[in-house]
Structures are given as structure tokens and as C-alpha cells.
Structure 1
Amino acid sequence: MARGVAVRRARVVSEPVSEYIRWEHYVTQANVTAGEEVRWLPRRRATSIPLPGNDFWLFDGALLRVHHFSGDGAVVEDEITADPEAVKLCSAAFEAVWDRAIPHHLYKI
């Protein structure tokens, strides 16, 4: 991006995808156009990756924003942590997903 910051997003998805994921895939082109790198990983290809139980954002390899959702998908709480063990786990999981995931322009739904 303009400031030299890389923004990477990986999405682990069940297949066949839901209508929501179909919509999310469609609108992701705007993120890609803005400079974000996005990849998609079918859940069946994630079996051997130890994944954190929650969605998260990792900033500068040092700070996590963890999203806690209710059963119906509403955000219950966002947790901010710099716990080194949590950061290490999430960073390793993200890189493993990233390595296996399919670039947005190649992932067809």
C-alpha cells in the first residue's frame, strides 16, 4: 500500500459456500483494488493446521484483536492482547493458512 504496509486477509470457508460467503467473495474485489491481498482456504484443506478458536487480526506481528461472536454471528466482544503465546499461535496459524490458501482472483465459487 502507499505507506509500505502489507494488508493480508485469509478466509477459511466451508464448501459449498453460503450465500453470505458468495456475497463476501463478490465485494472482496474492492479490498483487492485498494491493495489488500486476500486468499481463500477451503476448510477441507485446513485439517492439519492448528487454528485458533476465534477470528483475529494480527498487527505488526505483536498485537492481536480477537473477535468473540455469539451463536447468531453478532459481535459479543473484541479483545486486544499482546500475550506472546497467543501472538505466536495466531501468527503461525495465519502463515500456514496463507501458504495453502488460494489467491482471490483464482478462487472460484
Structure 2
Amino acid sequence: MPQNVLSFEALLRSAEHSAVHLEMRDSYGVDEEADEFSEFKQGHRLDPDDRTSWWRPWLDLIQEITARGVVVRRARIVSEPVTDYIRYEHHHTFTNVVAGERVRWLPRRRTADLALPGTDFWLIDEKLVRFNHFSGDGAVTEPEQTDDPQVAKLCASAFEAVWERGIPHEEYEIH
């Protein structure tokens, strides 16, 4: 990771009032999820009552920062019909919600008139942006971080536009 980019843990712990995340890919190739995604494709589903089986330590971190009053929102732009990966994400999102995240989904066809950054990002307190870059097959590559006020403003505007149109997780039906 480049020297000036905070780890996810440090980034989220630095939040004082808000952390928003915009996801725009239909598939990710994140190594940490490979086994779980494979199991999902074979029919395995999380047990809502078995919290020890959920994604740790991520959800513990979300619970920690939301308990401090930080509002964590995630918006996902998805193509329809959705990919197997998005089906996997959608199934697991109930754990994010239980941990304290607010999540919305927006069909890509409803984004044509929105100005969006070219890649996924986290925006912390409307001033610090971490861009998450991925290779063509969805593998994580070098992230980038900036506190440029114009970039933060663009990301805040893009996120709010998606959030406003987005469908709350509890209401979004997979197509």
C-alpha cells in the first residue's frame, strides 16, 4: 500500500461523523472472499443466528464506529440482471445492516444522467477520499487517497445522487 494511504481500519477509525462508500463494479476478485464466494455458488448461505460465522473483523469495526455515532452508508450501483457476485453480496448485506451500516442499491440503468467518479471510493467526513482501484478481473490494486476539497466535493455529490435514487437494502429485489 502506498505510504500516504491509510489502512481501512485506520481510515474508518478516523471518521468523526460520516463514512460513505460507493461501489460500482458488478464483480470483485478479492482474495479474502474467494472461498466464501465459491461456497455461496455451491449453495451455502449464512445463518442469520450464527453471528460468529459472519465476516470478522470487518463487522466488529463497523459496530465500533457506528456505536461512536458515525453514520456509515454504502451505495451499490448494479447491472441487471445481476451477476452471481452481486447475488452473493446481496445475500451477505444483512450482516452489514446488523452491524450498523445503511445500504442502498441502484440499478445502473438509472445512473445515466449522473456524474460519477471512475472508481469505487470511501469518503470520510466529506473531506478524505480513498479510491479503491481494481484490475480488469476485479483484483485489488493500489489504492489512492486525497484530501483535495474539489475531489471530496465531487465524491460527496456523486454519492448523495446515488443514495437519493437508491433502493434500501430491505426493499431491493434481485433481478
Report the TM-score, using the length of structure 2 for normalisation. Answer: 0.61
Counterparts of 1:42-53 in structure 2 under 5 Å? 42-53=107-118
Shift of 1:2: 1.5
User: 2:72 and 2:86 mapped to 1: Cα distance?
Assistant: 20
1:24, 1:73 → 2: CA distance? 14
2:154 to 77, 89, 97: 89
SS in 2 for 1:69: coil
1:39 is matched with 104
Q: Quick one: distance in 1 between partners of 2:110 and 2:144?
A: 28
Structure 2 residue 23 is the aligned partner of structure 1 residue 23:
no
The alpha carbon displacement at 1:68 in A equals 1.1
Name the CA distance, whole Å, in 2 between partners of 1:84 and 1:77: 22
CA shift at 1:84, angstroms? Answer: 1.2
Percent of aligned pairs with the same amino acid? 65
Is 1:59 aligned to 2:124, yes or no?
Answer: yes
Offset, 1:81:
0.6
| 1:2 aligns to 2:63 (yes or no) | no
Name structure 1 gaps, 5 residues minimum: none
**In 1, Cα distance between the equivalents of 2:139 and 2:67?**
33
- The answer to whether 1:77 aligns with 2:170 is no
Q: TM-score, normalised by structure 1?
A: 0.98
What do you get for the CA RMSD once the two structures are aligned?
A: 0.6
Q: For 1:96-107, what aligned pairs fall within 5 Å after superposition? A: 96-107=161-172
Separation (CA, whole Å) in 2 of partners of 1:68 and 1:4? 29
Describe the superposition over 1:38-94 as per-residue Cα deviations: whole angstroms up to 9, x where unpaired: 000000111111010000000011000101111111111111110111111110000
Task: State the aligned residue count.
Answer: 109
Provide the secondary structure at the position in 2 that maps to 1:71: coil
Superposed CA deviations along residues 7-27 of structure 1, whole A, max 9, x for unmatched, are: 000000000000000000000
